[in-house]
Amino acid sequence: MSIQSSTVDLGFAEKCEPWKLESRLFPSKIGGKPAWLDLNNLPKCKDLQCDVCKQQMIFLCQIYAPHEEDENNFHRTIFIFVCKNSQCSIRNTNNNLKVFRSNLPRVNQFYSEEPPLEEPDLTFTLNKWVKLCNVCGCLADKSCSKCKMGYCCREHQVIDWKEGHKNECGSSLSDSRQSSLLFKEFELVIESETEHSEEKDEKEAWREYKKLEMEGKVGTMVNTSEVELEAHAYVEEDTTFSKFRKRIERDPDQVIRYQRDGVPLWIADEPTLSEIPKCELCNGPRQFELQVMPQMLSVLGENELDWGTLVVYSCKSSCADKVGYKIEFVFRQDVSDNKVNS
């Protein structure tokens, strides 16, 4: 299912057959190896290094979000990478994260103009186009001296050797084994956000509270109604976090929120963005596109990393003049210290 730009779309993690997550089917997915879109101009190894520790980052998720009205963006995917070193995960900073955007026209050298058949294809392979790291699935510029298996860095070659390549070198087993370094793999199933008209709007709760305050009822709470108690509880809680919590309670399993040119669902009052960085390629404005929710950590069984929400801003025009993968901007916002320490 394609992302719709006019509504808030939610992504939910679901298990599926691995073939459904291949590049030819333009998937949205979590974990495993990236299903690259453009197969010729992948990010280089140095582009995927953590800014803190300089180690290779690991694929977190990707969202297929085409601009079908734009020929240059008929196919379009956002890729998010993260460093798995927990020491690089610093509150409210993005130095251990990177986001890339890839786009292709409908007529391109990799995929048919016709919609792909959703069935297994044993002939499909990325090796025709690019050499990938056997561990992480990113661009490989190094090889095993014996069997020429590809690796992005010396560290991943060592990891693969210890995890089985020592005994499998030259066999087909190395290609099918998934490294323990990667996140668990899931399909991202996209659905429109559920609307709950019966939920009280936060502004209405504030008006209720001010009314009680003027009537002298706040502080006594004697013979107050459930509505009045809710209004009082609302203002005593951090309003931003309260709004975040109440909104995600509608669909508690959501791991992605998507709304092109929409508004993020903030988890704290601070830090905030004073200015969204412009696109480094076209100097045009960026706009909110999607955010990764904290529930994704639970889905992945990840206990070392942490974040409140990861908010991705992309070039508003989705500029396509330059070939290759374009770097976009990600803003990390964590739960406020008051909530962490409470």
pLDDT of residue 32: 97
Q: What is the DSSP letter of 183?
A: P
Structure-token pair, residue 154 = 């010396």
Cis status, amide bond into 43, omega within 30 of 0: no
Choice among 29-33, 66-70, 195-199, 301-305 with the minimum mean pLDDT? 195-199
What is the rounded distance in angstroms from the CA atom of residue 132 to the CA atom of residue 140?
A: 5
3-state SS assignment for residue 313: strand
Mean pLDDT of 287-310: 96
Residues 130-150 pLDDT 10s: 999 999 999 999 999 889 999
Mean pLDDT of the chain: 88
Alpha-carbon dihedral angle through residues 290, 95, 97, 305, given to the nearest 10 degrees: -100
pLDDT of 192 over the 80 cut = yes
What is the rounded distance in angstroms from the CA atom of residue 97 to the CA atom of residue 78?
A: 13
| Distance, C-alpha 278 to centroid of its chain | 20
Residues 259-284 pLDDT 10s: 999 999 999 999 999 899 999 999 99
pTM: 0.86
Pairing type for strands 286-292 and 29-30 reads unpaired
As to burial, measured by CB atoms within 10 angstroms (0-12 exposed, 13-18 middle, 19+ buried), residue 235 is middle
pLDDT of residue 218: 47
Total residue count of the chain as it appears in this document? 342
pLDDT of residue 119: 94
Between 124 and 170, the higher pLDDT residue: 124
Percent of all residues in the chain with a pLDDT value above 90, rounded to a whole number: 73
For 256-270, give one letter per residue: b (16+ CB within 10 A) or e: bbbbbebebbbbbee
pLDDT band for position 285 (50/70/90)?
very high
pLDDT of 9 over the 50 cut = yes
What residue type is 72 in one-letter code?
N
pLDDT of residue 213: 59
Identify the CA nearest to 58 among candidates 113, 135, 112: 135
Residues 175-190 pLDDT 10s: 667 899 999 999 999 9
CA atoms within 13 A on the CB side of 256: 32
pLDDT of 199 over the 80 cut = no
H/E element, 315: strand 309-315
What is the rounded distance in angstroms from the CA atom of residue 296 to the CA atom of residue 45?
A: 25
3-state SS assignment for residue 9: strand
What is the rounded distance in angstroms from the CA atom of residue 23 to the CA atom of residue 316?
A: 25
pLDDT of residue 35: 98
Domain-by-domain residue ranges, the chain?
Answer: 9-194+251-341, 202-241
pLDDT of residue 215: 63
pLDDT of 228 over the 90 cut = no
| Distance, C-alpha 67 to centroid of its chain | 18
pLDDT of residue 171: 75
Asked whether 98 and 75 are in contact (CB, 8 A), the reply is no
Mean pLDDT of 66-86: 96
pLDDT band for position 5 (50/70/90)?
low
H/E element, 328: strand 326-333
Asked whether 33 and 208 are in contact (CB, 8 A), the reply is no
Hunting for tokens 């901007």 — which residue is that?
Answer: 329
